[in-house]
Structure 1
Amino acid sequence: MDALGGPGASIIVGLENVFPPIPSEVILPLAGFSAAQGTFTLAGAIFWTTLGSVLGAILAYALGFWLGADRVRAIFGRVPLMKVEDFDKAEGWFHRHGAASVFFGRMVPVVRSLISIPAGVARMNFLLFLALTLAGSLIWNSIFVVGGYLLGGQWHRIEAVAGWFSNAVVAAIVVVVVAFLVRRWLQERAQASVESDGRAEE
């Protein structure tokens, strides 16, 4: 980041989207710290890191789109520090939560780096994918970049908060899914009651 400025931050964050072992919980606060030291502005740090996130996500989407699930699994089985189970986890997220997983998945470790691949495999609408990726990345990046900026030389302390925040996001998703299922069940029950009343009148 010191050598390349904003583009350097963009490159590092972009790599995190295609190589999960690179932890954004460390990179993003460090970008904020660099901004506090005058390497670039705070707005610039958020812009460049988000640009890197989006470009990395597009690359991962393209890999999924062109290679398909089976070839992606084969690649994951050969690359050091990457596991097939990581891809399966992200793919499971996508199948369970659909388009919303692209947005919320940007805030969950491992899933954040890989969710773009199953989106590509499923050939999700690209403009929708792009919009959700941009929104989720902007929120996640801003939190950690601003945190690193405010903490200055103590930027590393924010990493301890990352696990709690990610768990909070997962809990929120669970609540939304349960609410959706309960609502759907109530709707189906009401529909069945209406149909039953209709048959009784006949």
Structure 2
Amino acid sequence: MTTHSFATTVADWAIGLMEALGAPGAGVAIALENLFPPLPSEVILPLAGFTASQGTLVLWQVLVWTTAGSVVGAVLLYALGAWLGRDRLRAIVDRMPLVKLEDVDKAEDWFNRHGDWAVLIGRVIPIVRSLISIPAGVERMPVWRFLAFTTLGSGVWNTLLVGAGYLLGDQWHIVEESVGVFQKVVIVVAVLLVVWWLVKTLRGRQDQDNPRHARQR
């Protein structure tokens, strides 16, 4: 399935939900989008805004329900992270090649120092906006703080995309194209970071296996 046909399928599905349930249908769609990141919010949200511009839905209700849907989806992923927990995560990592427990310790330390900002800013970054809830659950970030920053970040993201769809009218798909470029940049950066981490890890392993080479360096 091509990207265009997938977006069309998602749009038809979202329209069906909104026709059946009204503004809550948009909230259901966004809750599912949080749980399944391949569902693009850059299609669902502008389309909901466009639908509101046609008078079929009420704009403020769309904003309330989509933000509520974002929070529900995020809470479910937070619960998954909390169920996984530090002990299970460390046990899994301990069996994985190339990944060290000290990497987990560093990640935990970073999240404990920057968790609030990570959740807040992560909610406006494609892909990250869903996944950031899991480490928040693993680290048992206080629920009230998680809800506060998730609601704020999601509200900003949803308002921007729904508002753009409302203003653009039948040109709402422009939002999808623009956010799609942003998402590709995020993916490229993530891939580069993974490659950098793999190279660094493999070099570290080689230095451990060849201590004389490590001293020369």
Code of the residue aligned with 1:9 in structure 2: it is A
State the shift of 1:149 in Å. 0.6
1:52-201 correspondence runs (5 A): 52-68=69-85, 70=88, 94=111, 97-163=114-180
State the shift of 1:39 in Å. 2.2
State the shift of 1:63 in Å. 1.1
1:32-71 correspondence runs (5 A): 32-68=49-85, 70=88
Work out whether residues 17 and 56 of structure 1, in 8 Å CA contact, stay in contact via their aligned partners in 2: yes
Q: 1:5 aligns with which of 6, 17, 22?
A: 22
Work out whether residues 2 and 34 of structure 1, in 8 Å CA contact, stay in contact via their aligned partners in 2: no
State the shift of 1:17 in Å. 1.1
* Residues in 2 aligned to 1:12 and 1:94: alpha-carbon distance in whole angstroms: 29
User: How big is the alpha-carbon RMSD for the aligned residues of Structure 1 and Structure 2?
Assistant: 2.8
The sequence identity of aligned pairs, in percent, is: 58
Alignment: residue pair count: 153
Normalised TM-score (structure 2) = 0.63
State the shift of 1:114 in Å. 1.2
* Residues in 2 aligned to 1:5 and 1:68: alpha-carbon distance in whole angstroms: 37
* Residues in 2 aligned to 1:17 and 1:123: alpha-carbon distance in whole angstroms: 19
State the shift of 1:163 in Å. 5.0
* Residues in 2 aligned to 1:94 and 1:165: alpha-carbon distance in whole angstroms: 24
Unmatched runs of 5 consecutive residues or more in structure 1: 75-87, 169-202
Normalised TM-score (structure 1) = 0.68
Where does residue 207 of structure 2 map in the other structure? none
